[in-house]
Amino acid sequence: MADIAQDIPVVRQAPPPRSTRALGWLRVHLFSSVFNSILTLLAVGLLAAAVPPLVRWALIDAIWSAPNGQACHAGGACWAFIGEKMRFILFGRYPADQEWRPIAVVAIFIAMIAAACVRPLWGRRLAVVWFAGLSAAFLLMAGGLPGLRPVETGLWSGLPLTLILAVIAMLFGFPLGVLLALGRRSRLPAVRGICVGYIELVRGVPLITVLFMASLMLPLFLPAGVTIDKVLRAQVAFILFAAAYLAEVVRGGLQAIPKGQIEAADALGLSYLQRTRLIVLPQALAMVIPPLVNTFIGMFKDTSLVLIVSLFDLLGATEFALTDSNWQGFAVEADVFIAAIYWSFCFFMSRYSQLLEREFNRGKQR
């Protein structure tokens, strides 16, 4: 092969440039036709109308420090409000002298999520890391050990609560979702019917009704004398909700497994449990990792709904901070600030899921 290549004189040349540098780029990308030119001018006009006032509001006219809200109304953004309320927005009603604990919990969660994104770590080691991390986070939040004052769940709030609700919902919802997906694919009509009924019921109603149900009806469902605290109620709702959505994601993976795999497992004499555990699930679950990340993003955004059942997650704490009579009328600033927090989490995770999708599909691209 090498000889042949040497025999034929191939001169590798870049294609001729379509046009000159900057002007050519402009012509190709912005003014390729009359219609495109009009679009470009419209877009430039839109930017010219929108960007300068925004910059003026957010930066030039903004007030960065002020003693109180009255001194902060000058036409620009009042970032002093964020400085004043940052602690409350992030950690809410958690005791102020114990602030290092929620900070450590957030750091642990971010480290765990980061670890889960490193593919060489996938496997048993990651499970151990997660187990240790979750135990540490729970101990830090709840306290009760010598040296750690107990803090009741009613005071858990802000970013740690958001992260806890989303992560625990996924962790506990996932096994439930796998079982539901297997049940939905089962050959036993009674099992299939009940699983389909559950999945369609939960997916057919808004999350908010599941939350209402958990917060209003769960206490009624429990035996007399058993009480269940508010955070746990919301957490149960999120787990039940996540399970139904995860079941559909997992079902996608189950359906994508070639029939030959199952027939081969049967031919080897594997039982249903062996076949599912050794042949079906490993392949199905690997296939659905990118959509699982997307479901996690959805859950992360959905945790903001707990505000409606009066819990103080990141959004709830912010809305509460806005009721301070000394600092009135800064809703837009506060919303922009926490939007940036939510956005950075979700954007990073969605980029990661796109990357995974590309890597997983590499074998299929020719």
Partner 1 sequence: MASDEAALTLAPARPAPWRDPKLRAIAYQIVFVAAVVGAVGFLVHNMLGNISRQNIATGFGFLRKEAAFGIGESLIPYSPADTYGRAFLVGLSNTLYVAALGIVLATILGTVMGLARLSGNWLVAKLAQIYVETFRNIPLLLQLFFWWGLLNTAAPAPRQAWQVLPDVFVSNRGIAYPVPVASPAYKWMALAVVVALALLVPLRRWAAARQAATGRQFPRGWAGLGIVLGLPLIVFVAFGAPFALSVPSLHGFNFSGGSAVSPEFAALLLGLVIYSGTFIAEIVRAGILAVSWGQSEAAMALGLKSGQRMRLVVLPQALRVIVPPLTSQYLSLTKNSSLAVAIGFPDLVSIANTTMNQTGQAIEGIAMIMAVYLFISLSISLAMNLYNRAVALVER
Residues that bind partner 1 (CB under 8 A): 29-30, 32, 36, 39-40, 43-44, 46-47, 187-191, 194, 201, 203-209, 212-213, 216-217, 219-224, 297, 301-302, 304-305, 307-308, 315, 319, 329, 331-332, 335-336, 338-339, 342-343, 346-347, 350
114 close to 348: Cβ distance less than 8 angstroms:
no
Nearer to partner 1, 139 or 218 (CB): 218
CB of 357 to partner 1, least distance (A): 12
Dihedral angle sign, alpha carbons of residues 184, 187, 193, 194: negative
Nearer to partner 1, 109 or 245 (CB): 245
Neighbour-count burial for 292-321, b at 16+ CB within 10 Å, e otherwise: bbbbbbebbebbbbbbebebbbbbbbbbbb
94 close to 159: Cβ distance less than 8 angstroms:
no
Question: How large is the greatest C-alpha to C-alpha distance in the chain, in angstroms?
Answer: 90
Nearer to partner 1, 282 or 329 (CB): 329
Nearer to partner 1, 139 or 335 (CB): 335
Nearer to partner 1, 55 or 208 (CB): 208
Dihedral angle sign, alpha carbons of residues 203, 204, 208, 210: negative
Nearer to partner 1, 35 or 100 (CB): 35
CB of 24 to partner 1, least distance (A): 13
Nearer to partner 1, 153 or 304 (CB): 304
CB of 243 to partner 1, least distance (A): 15
CB of 3 to partner 1, least distance (A): 36
CB of 298 to partner 1, least distance (A): 9
CB of 32 to partner 1, least distance (A): 6
Nearer to partner 1, 252 or 282 (CB): 252
SS3 assignment for the chain: CHHHHHHCCCCCCCCCCCCCHHHHHHHHHCCCCHHHHHHHHHHHHHHHHHHHHHHHHHHHCCECCCCCCHHHCCCCCEHHHHHHHHHHHHHCCCCHHHCHHHHHHHHHHHHHHHHHCCHHHCCHHHHHHHHHHHHHHHHHHHCCCCCCCCCCHHHCCHHHHHHHHHHHHHHHHHHHHHHHHHHHCCCCHHHHHHHHHHHHHHHHCCHHHHHHHHHHHHHHHCCCCCCCCHHHHHHHHHHHHHHHHHHHHHHHHHHCCCHHHHHHHHHCCCCHHHHHHHHHHHHHHHHCHHHHHHHHHHHHHHHHHHHHHCCCEHHHHHHHHCCCCCCCCCHHHHHHHHHHHHHHHHHHHHHHHHHHHHHHCHHHCC
CB of 309 to partner 1, least distance (A): 11
CB of 195 to partner 1, least distance (A): 10
Nearer to partner 1, 50 or 121 (CB): 50
CB of 346 to partner 1, least distance (A): 4
Nearer to partner 1, 10 or 49 (CB): 49
CB of 236 to partner 1, least distance (A): 13
